[in-house]
Structure 1
Amino acid sequence: MSDPFFARIRELKFKQLLVFERVVELGSMHKAAEVLHMSQPNVFKIISQLEELLAVPLFERSSKGVVPTEFAQRLLPRIKPMLGDARAIGEELAALRSGERGQVVIGTLISASARLLPDSIALMKQRHPHVNIVVREATNDLLFPMLAVGELDLIVGRVPETSPPGVSYHALYKEQLVVVARACHPLAKKRRFPVAALLDFPWILPTSESSVRNRVEHFFSQHRLALPHNLIESLSMLTNVGVLRQSDTLAMLPRTAAQLLIDDGTLCQLAMAEDIAFGTIGFGVRAHRLPTPTCAAFIAALQKVAQALSTRG
């Protein structure tokens, strides 16, 4: 690249990159203007300045919004870590300034979203009521890239067998899987039944990207059984509970996620002749980076709740 081009790169401003990132994510200059509390003409002007500075087109305009060009798609992953670091700096300065304000963005999996995470959020809000908490629920294949670029402060859920590069995992407690059904299910009152009897009923399983799905497949494979043919695939806890309550459908859930539903009589745990190991529940953060004060406070809440859950189990 020529020296004049490097000179233009040095003229890039943080605000230009922030506006660019919002326009790409939202697919609309109008929506980006609303989120950033700016006028649409101002957003258009900043994008035009950025295109002129970089000497490439970044968006194709249409009646439905804007579509990022190949140049924009290459630029976005380069600037996301910069914006993530800038947000972390802002959160840290805000926390140091007031001791109570800031934001923590959490990625989570089904293994933590039903009990560990809600209890931790409640405790965090008791301790730090003015901290903003954002939760993103997805599978690890989506969460890991978000953590890597700073869109997430931490991931809470089952610790993977192999940590991806740049992620440091910390264990909280061991988790088991339980087979659950409605209280009046035909298998609910039985003390013993063959594992093959589970295949006589419909099943809800997570999608193939889920760590719970992998353990369920391993369980049936150990017993030399195929997966159930009458199958619903869903990651929605609300949907799954609704189906379980009104049918003879079965599901396998992390014990702590199922316990509240078992305690209030919504579901029952089937009597299995063996424990079904799920793995270690913990949290992952970006390696070699100190968490922001708000993130560190949330980790402390996680550890407190996890200790109570593991003691009860």
Structure 2
Amino acid sequence: MKTPRLLDGRLKLRHLVLLDALLRQGSVVGAAVQLHVTQPVATRGLHELEEILGVTLFDRGPRGITPTVYGAAFAEHARAVLAQLTEAGRHIVELADAVRGTVVVGIHLAGSNMLLPRAITKIKADHPYLTVVVREAAPEPLLVELVAGRVDMIVGRLTAPSDEQIERRKLYDEFVDLIVRPTHPLAGRTGIAPAELGEYPWILPGQETVLRRELEEFFARNGIPLPANRVEATSFLTVRELLLANDVIAALPSLIARGEPKFARLDVSLDQIGHSVGLTLPTITLSAPTVSTRRRSARSSNTTESTANRPM
């Protein structure tokens, strides 16, 4: 097929915005609602984009739409363009007043109790009028937001090496402990048999997380069925309150566990479960004032945070 002519004036910014909405919502109706347009307008926009590219971007089904290989490929470029435009708008605002602005930081459990609060405290001391927005979510949704330019950086577990779109900077390694409340029947015991763990309710991380898959592998290695009595949660506040109120078991990063005096660590080895914690950044970004500030801050705090947060 011929290379699509994308600069002949037919391709509009609204087509890229529509494509992003379709991918996020999984249906034409949902995309129309998100963009505050009618369904026929959204459908016509999709047909226009497919005609411009000369390929089918989505498979239609009773449950919604699914991107084809062409749709998934073009979406990467479309989101990169939208991210650059978002960054350009922020760049203009921040050039007008470089001591102000906004940095959006995505966070999941690892690094949330010490690394991020220390970094925010340090940058606010130098830039008190810089607004730091913290968004807590699972890793995969945060990566989508990062690539789309809606999140500036992610602090948390590093689950893959850097690539063309994502730069990952390791700060320290961390282990995972099994945690209970001090009055739990297993608290303070030594030589706990893995089979005993399956006799109690659990708090497990969401199915979309790497830690969940690692725990499932731990259960399988030790012949423990996946706990039928379980709660699935990634919010630390929810996990903390459930731990303190019930005889449940939870797997938490060691630094979080050690920072809570009301928690007790079980004498169970999880040597095969551990991770690196660090920063995840988009590889393509402009040097807007707050962007430059956050990157300098990340580099300067690398050594300090690595030492301060390394498990003893």
TM-score under structure 2 normalisation? 0.70
Quick one: distance in 2 between partners of 1:145 and 1:113?
A: 20
Matched residue, 2:268: 272
C-alpha displacement of 1:279: 1.4
Superimposed CA distance per residue, residues 15-37 of structure 1 (whole angstroms, 9 cap, x where no aligned partner): x569758976795878767xxxx
Superimposed CA distance per residue, residues 86-119 of structure 1 (whole angstroms, 9 cap, x where no aligned partner): 1212333433442222332333332233443344
SS in 2 for 1:99: coil
SS in 2 for 1:100: coil
Number of residue pairs matched? Answer: 289
Superimposed CA distance per residue, residues 166-204 of structure 1 (whole angstroms, 9 cap, x where no aligned partner): 322110000010111112111212243223322221111
| Contact 1:114–1:257 (CA under 8 A) maintained in structure 2 | yes
* Unaligned residue ranges in structure 1 (runs of 5+): 34-39, 57-66
SS in 2 for 1:110: coil
C-alpha displacement of 1:249: 0.5
Matched residue, 2:108: 109
Matched residue, 2:139: 139
Matched residue, 1:194: 193
Matched residue, 2:152: 153
Quick one: distance in 1 between partners of 2:214 and 2:202?
A: 14
Matched residue, 1:90: 89
Quick one: distance in 2 between partners of 1:144 and 1:7?
A: 27
| Contact 1:234–1:240 (CA under 8 A) maintained in structure 2 | no
| Contact 2:102–2:131 (CA under 8 A) maintained in structure 1 | yes
Quick one: distance in 2 between partners of 1:241 and 1:130?
A: 30
- The residue correspondences of 1:227-242 to structure 2 (distance < 5 A) are 227-237=225-235, 238-242=237-241
Quick one: distance in 1 between partners of 2:226 and 2:209?
A: 17
Q: Please say which of residues 167-176 and 116-125 is displaced more in the overlay.
A: 116-125
Quick one: distance in 1 between partners of 2:46 and 2:223?
A: 58
Aligned-pair Cα RMSD in Å: 4.3
Q: Does the C-alpha gap of structure 1 residues 229 and 137 become closer, same or farther in structure 2, counting only changes over 3 Å?
A: closer
Quick one: distance in 1 between partners of 2:45 and 2:21?
A: 12
Q: Does the C-alpha gap of structure 1 residues 8 and 231 become closer, same or farther in structure 2, counting only changes over 3 Å?
A: same
Q: Does the C-alpha gap of structure 1 residues 139 and 18 become closer, same or farther in structure 2, counting only changes over 3 Å?
A: same
| Contact 1:191–1:271 (CA under 8 A) maintained in structure 2 | yes
Superimposed CA distance per residue, residues 3-50 of structure 1 (whole angstroms, 9 cap, x where no aligned partner): xx9699527665x569758976795878767xxxxxx9xxxx9x9x98
Match of 2:290 among 291, 294, 298: 294
Quick one: distance in 2 between partners of 1:77 and 1:108?
A: 23
- The residue correspondences of 1:236-275 to structure 2 (distance < 5 A) are 236-237=234-235, 238-260=237-259, 262-263=260-261, 265=262, 267-272=263-268, 275=271
Tell me the percent identity: 24
Q: Does the C-alpha gap of structure 1 residues 240 and 227 become closer, same or farther in structure 2, counting only changes over 3 Å?
A: farther
| Contact 2:204–2:212 (CA under 8 A) maintained in structure 1 | yes
In the alignment, does 2:177 pair up with 1:181? no
* Unaligned residue ranges in structure 2 (runs of 5+): 52-63
Q: What amino acid sits opposite 1:284 in the alignment?
A: T
Quick one: distance in 1 between partners of 2:126 and 2:151?
A: 21
SS in 2 for 1:200: coil
SS in 2 for 1:241: helix
Quick one: distance in 2 between partners of 1:240 and 1:300?
A: 34
| Contact 1:175–1:280 (CA under 8 A) maintained in structure 2 | yes
Quick one: distance in 1 between partners of 2:114 and 2:296?
A: 16
C-alpha displacement of 1:268: 1.8
Quick one: distance in 2 between partners of 1:216 and 1:22?
A: 34
SS in 2 for 1:94: helix
SS in 2 for 1:197: helix
SS in 2 for 1:111: coil
Quick one: distance in 2 between partners of 1:245 and 1:278?
A: 24
TM-score under structure 1 normalisation? 0.70
Quick one: distance in 1 between partners of 2:16 and 2:125?
A: 32
Quick one: distance in 1 between partners of 2:31 and 2:189?
A: 57
Q: Does the C-alpha gap of structure 1 residues 83 and 106 become closer, same or farther in structure 2, counting only changes over 3 Å?
A: same
